[in-house]
């Protein structure tokens, strides 16, 4: 029986410091039937040379845009990788982490338990480490797989994901609004949660390196940071704006789908670009409050949604 093919999609940008170590960790995977497809997003350091070196050493490594390098941003870069790749399943790789040897195998074992005709996404926990890979703390203490929870707080990190072709086929690559879709992993997680399966494995499969140039790092949960958020709403205003933007795009793309589970949330939040007002949003949060695993957060998110209602209207 032929083993499933895994396309590992990596977007690079000035990653010379850690890239070789990351590629080495992928080459050491216990599951061997993979291809690493790399797209460079306009590096000015030695990243391209490193990619070319590994490409020459391992036939499983492909340099997608060799000789045609241009900067499009991390979200578009990953979506281009996904659009141009063909495999049974797909994974996403950052350039500066380190994959534990059973990462691919563990995700695949969970994925093949699911109905492959549905859009499926499997994701795992992460082990937070410093630039020298020291550290044992797990990033995700709680997890959730419902569409409404993921809409307001995404806990699915792309560097831990595996998705199937049914999920890929639901992505309309020609109509993605990169001004509203904040990250590729969030969009894919929402599709899986609404129309298929979003499954969490509570085991760390990567060493998630934290350093100054991370694209997206671990959230600061210290008391001082939480106190600052209480009196300075800018961060939470931006977070709620991103959630509403995802709802707006989800309604545009899937609003007519007969299989919608969370139709009320999608319809009401997806129309805030036109209908947002103090009283509209007050009625909204009383009937369909922003979701969180913490009640106090739901109250705070509701406050943000009502008080800053102008933020969601199209200017």
pLDDT in tens, 15-72: 999 999 999 999 999 999 999 999 999 999 999 999 999 999 999 999 999 999 999 9
Compute CA distances 50 → 253, 292, 315, whole Å.
39, 42, 44
CATH topology of domain 6-209: Spore Coat Polysaccharide Biosynthesis Protein SpsA; Chain A (3.90.550)
Tokens 């890929």 correspond to 168
- Reported as a single tens digit per residue, the pLDDT across 190-229 is 999 999 999 999 999 999 999 765 544 455 555 555 566 6
Q: What is the pLDDT of residue 216?
A: 46
Mean pLDDT of 168-175: 96
Question: Which of the residue ranges 74-78, 140-144, 230-234, 275-279 would you say has the lowest mean pLDDT?
Answer: 230-234
- Reported as a single tens digit per residue, the pLDDT across 129-164 is 999 999 999 999 888 899 999 999 999 999 999 999
296 compared with 216, residue with greater pLDDT: 296
Give the three-class secondary structure for 96: coil
DSSP structure class, residue 257: -
Query: Which residue, among 185, 180, 123, 125, has the nearest Cα to 154 in the 3D structure?
Result: 185
Q: What is the pLDDT of residue 2?
A: 85
Compute CA distances 40 → 156, 177, 307, whole Å.
23, 21, 42
Q: What is the pLDDT of residue 215?
A: 41
Give the three-class secondary structure for 229: helix
Q: What is the pLDDT of residue 213?
A: 55
- Helical spans, DSSP H, in the chain: 19-27, 47-57, 74-84, 103-111, 147-152, 165-169, 184-195, 223-231, 234-254, 263-269, 272-275, 278-287, 295-307
Mean pLDDT over all residues of the chain?
A: 93
Q: What is the pLDDT of residue 293?
A: 79
Q: What is the pLDDT of residue 211?
A: 77
Whether pLDDT at 109 is above 50 = yes
Give the three-class secondary structure for 206: strand
The set of residues, in sequence order, having a beta carbon less than 8 Å from that of 24 and lying 6+ positions away, is none
- The percent of residues above 90 in pLDDT, for the chain, comes to 87
Domain boundaries, the chain: 6-209, 223-308
């Amino acid at each position: 029986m032929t083993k499933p093919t895994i396309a590992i999609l990596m977007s690079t940008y000035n990653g010379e410091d850690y890239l070789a170590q990351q590629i080495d960790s992928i080459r050491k995977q216990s599951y061997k039937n993979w291809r690493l497809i790399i797209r460079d997003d306009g590096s000015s350091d030695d990243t391209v040379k490193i990619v070319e070196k590994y490409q020459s050493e391992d036939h499983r490594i492909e340099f997608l845009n060799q000789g045609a390098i241009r900067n499009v941003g991390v979200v578009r870069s990953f979506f281009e990788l996904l659009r141009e790749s063909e495999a049974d399943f797909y994974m996403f790789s950052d350039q500066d982490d380190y994959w534990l040897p059973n990462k691919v195998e563990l995700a695949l074992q969970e994925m093949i338990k699911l109905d492959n005709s549905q859009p499926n996404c499997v994701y795992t926990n992460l082990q937070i480490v410093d630039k020298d890979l020291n550290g044992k703390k797990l990033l995700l203490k709680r997890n959730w797989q419902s569409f409404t929870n993921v809409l307001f707080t995404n806990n699915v990190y792309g560097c831990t994901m595996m998705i199937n072709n049914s999920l890929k086929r639901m992505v309309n690559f020609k109509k993605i609004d990169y001004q509203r879709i904040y990250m590729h992993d969030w969009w894919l997680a929402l599709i899986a949660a609404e129309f298929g399966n979003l499954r969490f494995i509570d085991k760390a499969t990567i060493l998630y390196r934290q350093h100054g140039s991370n694209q997206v790092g671990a959230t600061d949960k210290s008391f001082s940071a939480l106190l600052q958020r209480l009196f300075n709403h800018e961060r939470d205003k931006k977070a709620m704006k991103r959630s509403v933007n995802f709802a707006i795009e989800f309604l545009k793309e899937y609003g007519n789908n007969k299989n919608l589970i969370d139709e009320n949330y999608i319809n009401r939040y997806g129309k805030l670009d036109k209908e947002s007002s103090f009283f509209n949003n007050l009625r909204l949060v009383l009937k369909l409050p922003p979701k969180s695993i913490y009640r106090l957060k739901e109250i705070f998110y509701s406050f943000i949604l009502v008080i800053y209602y102008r933020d969601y209207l199209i200017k």
